[in-house]
Structures are given as C-alpha cells and as structure tokens.
Amino acid sequence: MREPFGPDRLQVLIDLLVSMLAGAGIPSEATIAAVERAYDRYAGKPHPEPPGETVIRTDKLLMGNVVSMWCQLPEYCDSNGDSLPLPLNGPAPSLQALLDTAILQLPSASDPPTVEQVEAWLTRRQVVQKTEQQTYERLLDYFPSSSSEETLIPMLLDYLIEFAHTAEYNTRYGGGTGRFLRVAQTDAFPVDQIPKINRLTHEHGMEFLRLLDSCIMAEVDDPAKTNGAETTNIGVGVYLFARDPEG
C-alpha cells in the first residue's frame, strides 16, 4: 500500500466497520472474503498522480467561495441553473469578476491570489477545463484540498472515519438518528430537479458553513481561549447525496 496511508486512522476505520458488521451478526469470514474480492476488483488500477502544490488555508477558503458562487449566483448561471462558461478576464460574468466578488466575501484574504493563480489551481485540480472558445467550464462544484493523491490518502481516511463514526454511533445509540440528521430521503425524486435541490444546498449550506467557519476559527485563533484549555476535534458539513436506487 502506498505511504503515507495512516495506519492508525486505517485501524480506527476498520474498528468502526467491524463494530457495525459484528453487531449486525455478519461473521468475520464473510467480511474478510468481501474485502478480498474488493481488492481483487480494484487493486492495481492506474490512478493519475498530478504534481502536488501548497495552497494556504485562506486561499482554499477563497477558492471554495469562488466555486460555490459560480454554482449559485444568477449572473453566473443559465436559465436551467447550470454554471455558465467564463472568460478569464472582463466584467461579470468572468473568472476575474467572480474572484473579486469572492474576495469581498472573505475579509481575511488580505493578500489574495491573482486570477492567473486561480486559473492554475482550478485547472490542476480539474475543477475547470478550457474550451475551444477560450473560456472555462466548471467540472466540479467544490474545490479539492489537494491535487496530489499522496496527500489525499490521509484525508480520504479521515472522511471515511467521520462517516463510519457517525453510522456506528447512530446504529449503537441513536436508533438510526443522531449525529447525522437527514431532513428527507426518497427513492422517487425526479432527476431533472436535482439541480434545484443542489443549488439550495450550496446557497444556504455554504452561507451556514462560512458563518460556522468564522466562529470556529475565531475561537482557535484566540490564544487566551486555547492556552491550557481542554481541546477536541470538531467539524461541520452540509451536503446533498444522490444515487441510483437500482445501483
């Protein structure tokens, strides 16, 4: 397995999964056989490894704002709510105008990147691609933390652990509810209406998360509150999930 894979976090993930599987009465032999079949199916497949780069936290937040506003601001979307392709420079809608708007929404961006840096980050992370008309079309609705698979492995384990921890907690204590509260779930939602729900999730979810992020980081950045105080790991997320009910 490729390093660094985080053996401590990997063990935490396995512990949580086994807790749920054993609690459901699934024998270890069945679990081990399923894992072996999965590795036979997926191991050895090639994965692209673009070069890594360093992006400071403030710029990551700024890029997240750029992408989320591209998804939701009316002047950057067509009549169907899909993001418009954008030229690099010029008045709105353009990447430069979008960056300027995002900077206004993030007062902590005291030394913001140029639009050329933004274009490079978005392209390298495959968030955008350049069209024949020399504009940029959006491919992702979020900004990945890294362009390097090497650094994504620990982050992937962290994400899986959070979901597994939530599922294990809710199964053991919450009777199916608890830390992760779904507002609704249906197997009969019309696919062509998913963009509408996705826009609502981005519009109000990102506003909520930016507020929480400011509050959380204000506490962390205040030495008077953190010096000698008991601390813990916290995080908040808002997202929409959709899957084929036949899948």
Q: Is residue 127 part of a domain?
A: yes
Question: What tens digit of pLDDT does each residue of 9-23 get?
Answer: 788 888 888 988 888
Q: What contacts 90, CB < 8 A, 6 or more positions away?
A: 96, 97
Q: Is residue 225 part of a domain?
A: no
Q: What contacts 63, CB < 8 A, 6 or more positions away?
A: 55, 118, 121, 122, 143
Q: Is residue 227 part of a domain?
A: no
Buried/exposed code over 27-63 (b: 16+ C-beta within 10 A; e: otherwise): eeeeeeeeeeeeeeeeeeeeeeeeeeeebeeebebbb
- Which of 92-101, 112-121, 204-213 bottoms out in mean pLDDT, i.e. has the lowest? 204-213
Give the model's confidence band at 76: pLDDT under 50 very low, under 70 low, under 90 confident, else very high: very high
Q: Is residue 40 part of a domain?
A: yes
Question: What tens digit of pLDDT does each residue of 146-186 get?
Answer: 655 444 566 667 777 777 877 777 777 765 555 666 667 77
Whether 74 and 131 map to the same domain: the answer is yes
Which residues span the domain enclosing 113?
57-138
Q: Is residue 223 part of a domain?
A: no
Q: Is residue 232 part of a domain?
A: no
pLDDT score, position 194: 82
Whether 40 and 100 map to the same domain: the answer is no
pLDDT score, position 161: 79
pLDDT score, position 49: 42
What are the respective helix, strand and coil percentages of the chain, to the nearest 5? 55, 5, 45
Is the CA virtual torsion 71, 74, 76, 79 positive or negative? positive
Whether 13 and 61 map to the same domain: the answer is no
Check pLDDT > 70 for residue 109: no
Check pLDDT > 60 for residue 137: yes
Whether 73 and 106 map to the same domain: the answer is yes
Q: What span, in angstroms and rounded, lies between the C-alpha atoms of 98 and 118? A: 11
Q: What span, in angstroms and rounded, lies between the C-alpha atoms of 242 and 80? A: 19
Type of residue found at 63: M
* Number of structural domains in the chain: 2
pLDDT score, position 247: 45
Domain boundary among 111, 138, 165: 138
